[in-house]
Structure 1
Amino acid sequence: MMADVDPIRCDLFVIGGGINGTGIARDAAGRGLKTVLVEQTDFAAGTSSASSKLIHGGLRYLEHYEFRLVRESLKERETLWRMAPHLVRPLRFILPHHRGLRPAFILRLGLFLYDHLGGRKLLRKTKSLNLRKDPKGTPLKSRFKKGFEYSDCWVDDARLVIANALAAKRRGATLLNGHRFLDAVREDRDWRIRVEAPGGKVIEFQADALVNAAGPWVEKTLRDCIMSEDAHSHARLVKGSHIVVPAFYDGPRCYTFQNPDKRVIFAIPYEEKYTLLGTTDVPFSGDPAKVEASEAEINYLCAAASEYFEKSVQPEDVIWSYAGIRPLYDDGEVNPSATTRDYHLDLDTREDTLPLLSVFGGKITTYRCLAEEAMEKLSPFLTFSLDDWTGYTPLPGGSLPEDVTPAKALKHFKAEMRTRFSWLEGETVDRMCNAYGSRIRTVLEGTESLDGMGTHFGAGLYEAEVRYLMREEWARTAEDILWRRSKLGLRLSKNEQAALAAWMSANTD
């Protein structure tokens, strides 16, 4: 089926609405390029919402001598914290020394490098702990005597994707959520691209450059949808699963555990009432759209946590699990855990024109650097400035009052918003500040009382917020809101979730 209107002209066409695709769209649009991005299901519906929710340097990558990746990641922690203080926050991790695994001096050396490779300015440095005397060792089994405490950052991964999409839109990009990329062919002077809209209508585009940031679908997109004889494929699909259980220790600290298989497992306080445990590394060859944590992975994570914590974790404790597929760059490593987490950008051109850039690998921490490198690779084919601007410009919602640290700025902003919206539950105001930052004013625009918020669906989710998410953040289904725009799916009952779905269906234009 052909389009019934003339093709829409753009400079850059991006396939994929995950963190890399939206990051590239933001960067390109900010450089003045007419940019279009297409996402087949929902922004962050795949790997980008299935991470460990960490902005981290990758302590274990030091073992594989990936010093460049670690340094870049460490620097990005504070850059992203400043860009989005509502979505990124510092965490302290406790790393117990397990006798029989990595020696204590190796851990200390690694953490010394961790403190100094990335030019740390705001995050607190590493310190040694006596786990038998320090209260931070209380949740752990008594056989763990020595440990270390170090810094990394938390991120709301799906909302980071939305923030980049909003930033791209603010700078003029066109973002098509729920649109399926059909195919692209090189013509004499441009790419000819077809996209299927939700109702089945086919829309055609013409572009000077094409970016394939389809994540786990990057190879399938190259093979089935892009007619490029010279396109290379380098993806190695690895599944990572996480489980969520009721919180079983007090305090805000996270814990990092070594395992005999050299995997590292994190235990992270999650959504105030829960603990997040992950992740696994399992080779994957199925459909990335149909992925879930297996029974073996759940058992593995429970056993890993139970090895360290005084309170054991059992599979029956799991209240939610999720899994994502990492499209790692295939560097030939046999062990999935040893496969590089660095990104690789594959540039395919025809006679130095009509570039196709495919994105392999990467991690959420370095998405901004990946986008900058992508633009650098495309610079011979498109006209734009290569000025470094993305790291100095707050993401939407990130323009909070300046203070000594982003954490203090957010704390003061929450206090201000609690006063401004005193008629709304304080817990709800805090949640909305964490999700929207300074855009909370946009979410609640025109509402001056609880009655003005409309229908209450449960857990502090009101009609006014749902309308905002549908109008401004591309939400189309209850799942979009409950599991990506928020994690309120953990708190709403099945009946409340069904009521939300019915309301959205009845109020969709």
Structure 2
Amino acid sequence: MTAHRDHAVSRLRDGFDLLVIGGGVNGLGVAWDAADRGLSVLVIDKGDWGSGTSSWSSRMIHGGLKYLEKLEIGLVRESLRDREWLLRRAPHLVSPLPFVLPFYRNNAHHHLVLRAGMVLYDVLSFDKSLPCHRVYGRKGTAARLPSLCRDGLQGSALYYDAQVAYAERLCVEIMLAARRAGAVTLNHAESVGLTVADGRVTGARVRDVLTGDVHQVRARFTVNVAGPWADSVLADVPAGSKRLIGGTKGTHLVVDPFPGAPNRAMYYEALSDGRPLMVIPWLGRYLIGSTDKRFDGDLDTVRADEEEIDYILTETNRLFPSANLTPGDILYSYTGVRPLPYVPDGAPGDITRRHILHDHRPHLDGLLSVIGGKLTTFRSLAEHVVDEVGARLGRRTRCRTRRLSLPGSPPEGPAAFTRSFAAESGLPEPEARRLARIYGVRAREVATVINASPELGRVVDPASGLRAGEIVFAVRQEEAATLADVLARRTMLGLEPDLGRSAMDAVAEVCAAELGWDEAETERQKTAYRRYLRRFLERDPDPQTASRT
């Protein structure tokens, strides 16, 4: 156990103004905002920070072009405003991403409707730093995208949204911001039951997943931001019988560049059902998807099914006929469940993406549950939640996070910082650039640890340049407590084509020395990581490795 975790566990006996259950992007945003306004806050998650739905998205920071069809104008404006905030306040993690929207005769929406949507998108983002959209005719579109299907092509629009390549790192930085503001942050800590007295939630019993110890936590107010697990948090308390979450399943496939692959992201309508799909350049590969299916299964083991894989590949091959993608081309897939409000009937695409604050009164006081929420709008959602909590606690204060930046944000901009850091870090330039891309200005802190001794400067993974000091930094400074934490959500090796398998043994060795694991625990951690990888349905080049999982 680390010094930080020891301290956080010792704080569980304290009383808090606010207990936040759920450490995804939205729960962490609530913890940051509340702590910054002076509330005493504890935020917990049964897994790691951002290890749930926040890690399984399309990794877009976007206004929600498709929401215009549902006339959710307020949601689109809010999303576009938060997109701009992230581009300015976390530019090391969030970058502009150009999209092409092709117009086809057989589209569910006429090209004039799509062009009108583009104009409205620009109007609603009047304060943006990104360029406005441009429209191209059939010839101009074909010239720019020669591999695009020509059958029925009428033209296209070029517009801009943004991408967060490492959504996991976004969550880690929001956690760090919350911690700096004074919040107590404890991952791998599960709420195993809310405590109720006289019709009011007074806290929760919290189980330390790493030790099995159960702690009683007292809080004046509790916010359930557990995403698709929100109903599970409410089990065994008189919160009303109404089901809150009706999650839908979204699957993405990761493939290498393919014949005819576009140099820009594509946002297009599926021929089979008119749903929006995407082909997105991502970390030198392509992210294609996603699906939108109702899901009632095990949230912790959800993964792609054959129907989804066939659907995504078929539609991608229709858009780019020379691609000829097959299941054998898939490096891996990942699947998440959107925490949407429960709606028993209708198309999944018709369910609102706007977040809802569910007040459990009169059944229970002292409790709010958050339904829905997007990666893009975590800051606005948090402001909404903390405004409500403050009113209920008699602590009305103004939100300040709109004026704040995330901890890794470089004031001089990512490009200028990367150049100066590469020159001063003492590391090979590719390694320095990788650290700057993942940590922003905090890369200097990582480099300080790496340069502290020959052992910490030892290269652990030659392919990426990962050094022992970065792993130690992840444990000591970023609350990594398991092998999966380090590989999947700190060093980001878990997103490489082999999902970090080739580095697993060497990384586990460093973790064992830092966290005090014996041989049995080290093997248990590796087994747990292999089990975690089952969700990815990855193409495994090593049959012996496959047999071990």
TM-score, normalised by the number of residues in structure 2: 0.85
Are the counterparts in 1 of residues 471 and 510 from structure 2 also a CA contact under 8 Å? no
How do 1:67-146 residues align onto structure 2 when only pairs under 5 Å count? 67-101=73-107, 102-130=109-137, 132-133=139-140, 135-143=143-151, 144-146=153-155
Q: In angstroms, what is the RMSD of aligned CA positions? A: 2.3
How do 1:28-427 residues align onto structure 2 when only pairs under 5 Å count? 28-101=34-107, 102-130=109-137, 132-133=139-140, 135-143=143-151, 144-155=153-164, 156-187=166-197, 191-197=202-208, 198-224=210-236, 227-230=237-240, 232-248=242-258, 249=260, 252-260=263-271, 261-272=273-284, 274-309=285-320, 310-331=322-343, 334-349=346-361, 354-401=365-412, 409-421=413-425, 423-427=426-430
The Cα shift of 1:470 comes to 1.0
Does 2:477 correspond to 1:465?
no
Report the CA distance shift for 1:137/1:195 in structure 2 as closer, same or farther (over 3 A). Answer: same
The Cα shift of 1:434 comes to 1.8
Does 2:480 correspond to 1:475?
yes
The Cα shift of 1:414 comes to 1.0
The Cα shift of 1:212 comes to 0.5
Report the CA distance shift for 1:386/1:118 in structure 2 as closer, same or farther (over 3 A). Answer: farther
CA distance in 2, matches of 1:479, 1:98: 44
Gaps (5+ residues) in structure 2? 1-8, 517-549
Report the CA distance shift for 1:322/1:486 in structure 2 as closer, same or farther (over 3 A). Answer: farther
Gaps (5+ residues) in structure 1? 402-408
TM-score, normalised by the number of residues in structure 1: 0.92
Alignment partner, residue 539 of structure 2: none
Stretch deviating more after TM superposition (380-389 or 308-317):
380-389
The Cα shift of 1:263 comes to 1.3
Alignment partner, residue 13 of structure 1: 19
Corresponding pairs, count? 495
In structure 1, the residue corresponding to 2:79 is in which secondary structure? Answer: helix
Question: Can you list the C-alpha shifts for 1:384-432, whole angstroms capped at 9, x where unaligned?
Answer: 343131111001101422xxxxxxx2111111111112x4232322222
Question: Can you list the C-alpha shifts for 1:478-497, whole angstroms capped at 9, x where unaligned?
Answer: 32232222432315663422
Stretch deviating more after TM superposition (18-27 or 229-238):
229-238
Are the counterparts in 1 of residues 250 and 338 from structure 2 also a CA contact under 8 Å? yes
Are the counterparts in 2 of residues 347 and 377 from structure 1 also a CA contact under 8 Å? no
Alignment partner, residue 499 of structure 1: 506
The Cα shift of 1:6 comes to 8.9
Report the CA distance shift for 1:413/1:347 in structure 2 as closer, same or farther (over 3 A). Answer: same
The Cα shift of 1:230 comes to 4.1
Letter in 1 for 2:214: V
Are the counterparts in 2 of residues 457 and 463 from structure 1 also a CA contact under 8 Å? no
Report the CA distance shift for 1:6/1:60 in structure 2 as closer, same or farther (over 3 A). Answer: closer
Q: 2:457 aligns with which of 450, 453, 468?
A: 453
The Cα shift of 1:160 comes to 1.2
CA distance in 2, matches of 1:52, 1:264: 12
Letter in 2 for 1:262: G
The Cα shift of 1:315 comes to 1.4
The Cα shift of 1:349 comes to 3.9
Stretch deviating more after TM superposition (25-34 or 499-508):
499-508
The Cα shift of 1:192 comes to 3.7
Letter in 2 for 1:467: V
Letter in 2 for 1:264: P
Percent identity between matched residues is 35
Are the counterparts in 2 of residues 240 and 279 from structure 1 also a CA contact under 8 Å? yes
The Cα shift of 1:210 comes to 0.3
Does 2:440 correspond to 1:440?
no
Stretch deviating more after TM superposition (438-447 or 423-432):
423-432
Letter in 2 for 1:400: P
CA distance in 2, matches of 1:56, 1:303: 25
Are the counterparts in 2 of residues 159 and 435 from structure 1 also a CA contact under 8 Å? yes
Letter in 2 for 1:317: D
The Cα shift of 1:290 comes to 1.0
CA distance in 1, matches of 2:502, 2:436: 27
